[in-house]
Each structure stands twice: as C-alpha cells, then as structure tokens.
Amino acid sequence: MTCKGKRQKFLEIQNRVVKLRLTTFFLQTLILFVSYLFLKKHLFMIPFFKYQGTGNDFVMIDQRDKKFIKKKDTELIAKICDRKFGIGADGLILLQNRKGYDFQMIYFNADGRESSMCGNGGRCISAFAKQLGIVKSKCHFLAIDGPHDANIKKDNWVELKMSDVKNIEIGNDYFLMDTGSPHYIVFVEDIDDINVFENGQAIRYSKRFRKKGVNVNFVEPTKENIIVATYERGVEAETLSCGTGVTAAAIAHYFKNPNRRKKQNIPIQSKGGELAVRFEPNGKDGASNIWLCGKAELVFEGNF
C-alpha cells in the first residue's frame, strides 16, 4: 500500500472514531436528560422554613404556587416532623392562597394529622408571611377555627387575635375550655413537682377524653406572672410552649381569682420563654378581644 493509501485509510478510521465519540456523547446526554426529567417528576425537593415561638417549633411550607403536600400525606408529614429521621418539629404548617384573606393556615400535629388551631403556629405563620413579602405589619388570615388578625412588630414580636371563648366549664379542681383547641387546666403549688408527661397523659387518655383527646395545662400562679407547662395531644408529649394553652391558662387564672378590671393583661412564663395574654372577661364563663403575644423567630431554611 502506498503512502497515499495509508494516509487515506488513517483518515477514514479517524472519522469513524470521531463519529463514534459524537454518537456516544449524544446518547449520554440523552440518558442524562431523561434521567433528569424522571427525577424531577418523582423525586422532587420540598423547600421549607423552620420557625419557633417560645420553643414551640414548626416546619413552614409555602404552597401558594405549588402544592408540595396534601392533607392525606399523613406519613410524609409525620416523617418531616420526626426529630430523628426528619427535620423535627411540634407541627407542620401550610401557607396557601385563600380569597378574601392574606393567606390560609393549615396546621398538622407531629403525628401527621390535621388538627385544631395552634396559637404559637398562628404567630409564626404571620411572621413567615411577612418574610415572604405577603404582608407588612398586619395580616388577616383564615385558620380552621375561623378568621384571625395579627400585628407583626419590632424584634420578632407578634400579637395574634384569638377566637372568643364561651361556656367555660369550671370544676372543683379544673377548668375546661376551647381557645381554638380544647384545654384542661389544673392549678398547682409548684410546677417543678409535677411530672407533666405522666400526669398530662393520664388526663388526656382518661375515659372522658380518650377518643378526641384534650391538651392539659399545669399552672403555677406567682406574684409576677403565671408559670405554665403543657402536655399536647397529637404531639403526645410535653412541649416547651403552647399558644392556645397559655391563653386558656390566663383566662382560667382570672376566673379563679376575679377582679374588677375590664381589661386583663397576664404575663406568662413557659419553659420556652415569655408570653403575654390580653383579654376582656365576658360574663361568668367567657372572654373576648383575646390577644396572644410573644416572639416568633426564623430558625433556618432548607430543602427536604
């Protein structure tokens, strides 16, 4: 074979190699693209924000543009709230669009089930809405127990207007009322002597409350404030704070020790921090114009 023939043969082989490499590159690119589309459809990430209000912590998810979680996703919600295998939280809150309101709040307990109103969660979602740019210093939103208003002030201080309370049941050694969630309140001399988990669980699973459950609050009055510890249904454990719980405790404290002031302002110490509840007594078994006040803070954000 002449030199010219050898050169021609070499060029033919070289062209085949180039074509093979181009074909391989195209196939690899196609495989990667198809894999991307599959993963995007089946293995999506959920952007979240973690908030806490006096130690009562929540996973917040913005669902205005895309529905990441549905109400039936009980196992997923419970996994997200799991402190060992998920993000970890006392509950999960969805922020969604709702006509006539700034947004809608949908709350789930740590067990993954949709639950009744959460006061600290309501304060946290108000702060979250401000962070998202939905509202500035005031908001009007819908929760499971009806409409709520909130004022978002400096230093992460949020004041949430709660639903009116009616038909308080006053027993020999307890108070029972619904402040958006049902609460059983017991007054004690020294809260440090109380095993909140064991005593709370015993009441929550007693014959009267076993089916629907009840939150249990232990309250120690002091000269400066009231100290409150809470066993929460759905979490089925003691939590550092409970908004509807401290609201119930403050109202019960007034009816246990009534005074002539038309407007009450009760300072509260929970294990997670300081709160305050303002309200106006209404007759012998109710309260109105109730405001739950305290800090609501962003802890971190990420994708799950």
pLDDT at 78: 97
Task: Check whether residue 113 and residue 158 sit in a common domain.
Answer: yes
Checking 36-40 for CB contacts under 8 A at 24+ apart, the result is none
* Residue 32 placed within a domain: no
Task: Check whether residue 80 and residue 196 sit in a common domain.
Answer: no
* Alpha carbon 198 to its chain's center: 24
The number of distinct structural domains making up the chain is 2
- The fraction of the chain above a pLDDT of 70, given in percent, is 87
Task: Check whether residue 100 and residue 75 sit in a common domain.
Answer: yes
17 has a pLDDT exceeding 70:
no
Task: Check whether residue 150 and residue 177 sit in a common domain.
Answer: no
* Residue 51 placed within a domain: yes
Q: Tell me which residue range forms the domain holding 112.
A: 47-162
Tokens representing 142 are 């819908």
Top pLDDT among 30 and 216 is at: 216
Burial label for 291, CB within 10 Å (0-12, 13-18, 19+), is: middle
| Enzyme catalytic residues | 118, 242
Task: Check whether residue 155 and residue 68 sit in a common domain.
Answer: yes
> How do 226-232 and 264-270 pair as beta strands?
parallel
Mean pLDDT, range 161-178, rounded to an integer: 95
- Tell me the CA distances in angstroms from 114 to 74, 78, 81, 92, 220, one per residue in order: 9, 11, 13, 9, 31
Considering 162, 193, 221, which residue would you say is the last residue of a domain? 162
Write down the pTM of the prediction: 0.83
24 has a pLDDT exceeding 80:
no
The closest of 74, 85, 77 to 46, measured between CA atoms, is 77
* Residue 150 placed within a domain: yes
* Residue 116 placed within a domain: yes
Q: Looking at residue 232, which CATH number applies to its domain?
A: 3.10.310.10
Task: Check whether residue 133 and residue 65 sit in a common domain.
Answer: yes
* Residue 19 placed within a domain: no
* Residue 8 placed within a domain: no
Considering 113, 144, 162, which residue would you say is the last residue of a domain? 162
- Tell me the CA distances in angstroms from 268 to 24, 38, 56, 217, one per residue in order: 69, 52, 15, 13
Q: Kindly provide the b/e burial profile for residues 95-128, where b requires at least 16 CB atoms within 10 angstroms of the residue's own CB.
A: bbeeeebbbbbbbbbbebebbbbbbbbbbbbbbb
Task: Check whether residue 123 and residue 220 sit in a common domain.
Answer: no
| pLDDT tens-place string over residues 67-117 | 999 999 999 999 999 999 999 999 999 999 999 999 999 999 999 999 999
| pLDDT tens-place string over residues 129-168 | 999 999 999 999 999 999 999 999 999 999 999 999 999 9
Task: Check whether residue 78 and residue 101 sit in a common domain.
Answer: yes
The closest of 172, 143, 190, 165 to 249, measured between CA atoms, is 165
**Mean pLDDT score across all residues of the chain:** 91
pLDDT at 243: 94
| pLDDT tens-place string over residues 200-215 | 999 999 999 999 999 9
Task: Check whether residue 207 and residue 250 sit in a common domain.
Answer: yes
pLDDT grade for 303, boundaries at 50, 70 and 90: very high
4 has a pLDDT exceeding 90:
no
